[in-house]
Structure 1
Amino acid sequence: MDLEYKVNSPVSTDQFITLLHESTLGERRPVEDRACMEGMIRNSDLMVTAWYGGELVGMARSVTDFHYACYLSDLAVHKKHQRSGIGRELQRITQAQLGPHCKLILLAAPAANAYYSHIGYANNPRCWVLSPEQEISTRQG
């Protein structure tokens, strides 16, 4: 069977949740919140997927303006297909969809941190995250 890559091909919420579980990314995503999962799929600007025999085995899901910044919010590859080049190809195809000045930006899972520098990403220590339970401070200073 051949591996097939697709750009913005429909993915069901169940397929997405299954892939997250099978890639270990489900440990860091709200997979129990179906409405959130549906929103993540529905509101993505760019999804590059990998299919093997009709099964979703990889996905690069991004939010982007296509010209300056592309946030690669999920890079998931099924455990039985990891270390086969699928993740690299998903990122390569994602980057090919973007304009010539567009940067690919992501937050690495702790276990994958070394992977990204190995394939050419530059580390940027200036990332900041504001969780939903936190509020913007109104304090001056």
Structure 2
Amino acid sequence: MDIKYSFDDKPTAKQVIELYDNCGLPRPTRDKERIQKMFDNSNLIVTAWHEDLLVGVSRSITDWVWSCYLADLAVRQEYKKAGIGKKLIQLTKERVGEQSMVLLLSVPTAMEYYPKVGFVKQESSFILNRADWQ
């Protein structure tokens, strides 16, 4: 399987919505405008493509010298276990460099995944929740 990774090929909101719905990532996929803004306001996006099909994405916000918040990591169901998520994380880390940490908030279903790809679980996070979006 030939997967192309890119920092330049930006997906459309429609492609992102289809990917997120396919893999079960809980995002406001019924709000195309909000999804578009999420991508427009992110400054590090890595995509994975199988021909013209968006099969994975890593969407981050970073200052490039201290921290990188990995906001979304999504891989199409039928492409899971092919190393795509791990490669998206690797490319994200390579792009931000050694000075920057990569941190994330995991969805409950991915709690077992992140330690397998090198993340260390932390007990020191806090959150002010957003308004309900569903």
* TM exceeding 0.5: yes
Cα 1:133/1:10, change in 2 over 3 Å: closer
**1:133 positional shift:** 3.8
Code of the residue aligned with 1:85 in structure 2: it is G
Determine helix, strand or coil for the equivalent of 1:76: strand
Determine helix, strand or coil for the equivalent of 2:112: helix
Aligned residues: 132
Determine helix, strand or coil for the equivalent of 2:97: coil
Q: In the alignment, which residue of structure 2 is the partner of 1:139?
A: none
Farther-moved stretch of structure 1 (56-65 vs 95-104): 95-104
Question: Does residue 56 in structure 1 map to residue 47 in structure 2?
Answer: no
Q: In the alignment, which residue of structure 2 is the partner of 1:100?
A: 98
Q: In the alignment, which residue of structure 2 is the partner of 1:75?
A: 73
Q: Tell me, in whole angstroms, the C-alpha distance in 2 between the residues paired with 1:128 and 1:73.
A: 15
Q: Percent identity?
A: 35
**TM-score, structure 2 as length reference:** 0.93
Bigger-Rg structure (1/2):
1
Q: Tell me, in whole angstroms, the C-alpha distance in 2 between the residues paired with 1:40 and 1:8.
A: 16
Q: Tell me, in whole angstroms, the C-alpha distance in 2 between the residues paired with 1:125 and 1:8.
A: 35
Q: Tell me, in whole angstroms, the C-alpha distance in 1 between the residues paired with 2:29 and 2:119.
A: 28
Q: In the alignment, which residue of structure 2 is the partner of 1:6?
A: 6
Q: In the alignment, which residue of structure 1 is the partner of 2:15?
A: 15
Task: Output the aligned Cα RMSD.
Answer: 1.4
Question: Does residue 90 in structure 1 map to residue 71 in structure 2?
Answer: no
CA offsets per residue over residues 88-127 of structure 1, 9 Å max, x none? Answer: 0000011110132100001111111111112211111111
Determine helix, strand or coil for the equivalent of 2:55: strand
> Which one of 116, 123, 126 corresponds to residue 124 of structure 2?
126
Contact 2:43 2:61 (C-alpha < 8 Å) held by counterparts: yes
Q: Tell me, in whole angstroms, the C-alpha distance in 1 between the residues paired with 2:8 and 2:24.
A: 23
Code of the residue aligned with 1:41 in structure 2: it is F
Q: Which runs of 5+ in 1 are unaligned?
A: 135-141
Q: In the alignment, which residue of structure 2 is the partner of 1:37?
A: 35
Contact 2:10 2:47 (C-alpha < 8 Å) held by counterparts: no
Q: Which runs of 5+ in 2 are unaligned?
A: none
